[in-house]
Amino acid sequence: MNSHKAVTRFKATVIVLALSGLLGGCATSGNPKDPIEGFNRAMFAFNEGLDTVLIKPVAQGYDTVLPTPVKTGVTNFFGNIADLFIGVNNLLQGKADQAVSDLGRVAINSTIGILGLFDVATEAGLEKHEEDFGQTFGRWGMGDGAYVVIPVFGPRTVRDTAGLVLDVAVDPVGNVDHVATRNSLLALRMIDTRADLLPADKVVEEAALDKYSYVRDGYLQRRRNLVHDGNPPREID
């Protein structure tokens, strides 16, 4: 028991040392939005490595092997599940009409759309939205805070990390009781999402002088845009 505790403490110490080493080793570039750049760059490199050796190859295989209608069905299926809390978030942001539309989408796609495999709601004129708890917090006036790169999940801000915790907690897929089913669904969703990003990937590689900054600045711009529902005040200068 004691030795077990000691091992745990040892592990904790190593992690803390490693983290402080990363933080200490960070040449502060003085970017106010990215105060822990050294740590973030290390995490970014870790995520990139994970992507290169595992996630991207699987997504590429998935993308090549499966016919487009199947991939679209998978994207639609998870999109339909996501629409539920997109609606909840729209409601929390006071956008009742959009919330009604989102829940209408779930009702239509879950039934006529055969468990969400077909997005008939979009055809019927109910446009899909993109909302999450991070945006809701932003809408409520919470500043976004420092930029953080989270293992596996990737770029966030402090505010969006708080949002992510809630997103994950209420995620219907993550709350499936049957463990094997849950894990398969989570993996499938991750691969499907990654596969959808493959084209964008190549463009970013082509465009970026320094991929870390390019992704960071792109993420920050994107979130700012989403919080303002596509109409952020244009930054001066």
Partner 1 sequence: MKYLFGLLAAFLFSAAVIAADLTPDLLVKNVTIEVLDAVRKDKDIQNGNSKKTLELVETKILPHFNFQRMTLLAMGREGRKATPEQLKMLTDEFRNLLVRTYSKALTEFRNQEITYKPLKLAAADTDVKVRTEIKQTGGKPVSLDYYLEKSPAGWKVYDVEVGGVSLITNYRTTFGQEIQNNGVDGLIRTLQAKNKTGDTSGQAK
Write down the least CB distance from residue 3 to partner 1, Å.
39
Question: Is there binding between residue 235 and partner 1 (CB under 8 A)?
Answer: yes
Site string for partner 1, 38-67 (x = CB under 8 A): ---x---x----------------------
Q: Is 207 in the site for partner 1 (CB under 8 A)?
A: yes
Size of the site for partner 1 (CB under 8 A): 41
- Please tell me whether residue 72 binds partner 1 under the rule CB under 8 A: yes
| 218 near partner 1, rule: CB under 8 A | yes
| Euclidean distance between CA atoms 172 and 167, whole angstroms | 10
Please check whether residue 155 is in contact with residue 149, taking contact to mean a CB–CB distance below 8 angstroms.
yes
What residues contact 119, with CB distance under 8 A and at least 6 apart?
A: 76, 79, 80, 109, 113, 128
For position 222 contacting partner 1 by CB under 8 A, the verdict is yes
**Residues 94 to 153 in contact with partner 1, rule: CB under 8 A:** 119, 127-130
Site for partner 1 in 178-197 (CB under 8 A): 196
The smaller minimum CB distance to partner 1, of residues 91 and 227, is found at: 227
Q: Which of 168, 154, 156, 188 is nearest to 51 (CA)?
A: 154
Per rule CB under 8 A, is residue 25 in the interface with partner 1? no
Q: Is 20 exposed, middle or buried (0-12, 13-18, 19+ CB in 10 A)?
A: exposed
User: In whole angstroms, how close is the CB of 155 to partner 1 at the nearest point?
Assistant: 12
Cβ(19)–Cβ(39) below 8 Å: yes
Structure tokens at 115: 């468990």
Residues that bind partner 1 (CB under 8 A): 29, 31, 41, 45, 72, 75-76, 79, 119, 127-130, 196, 199-200, 202-214, 216-218, 221-222, 224-226, 230, 232, 235, 237
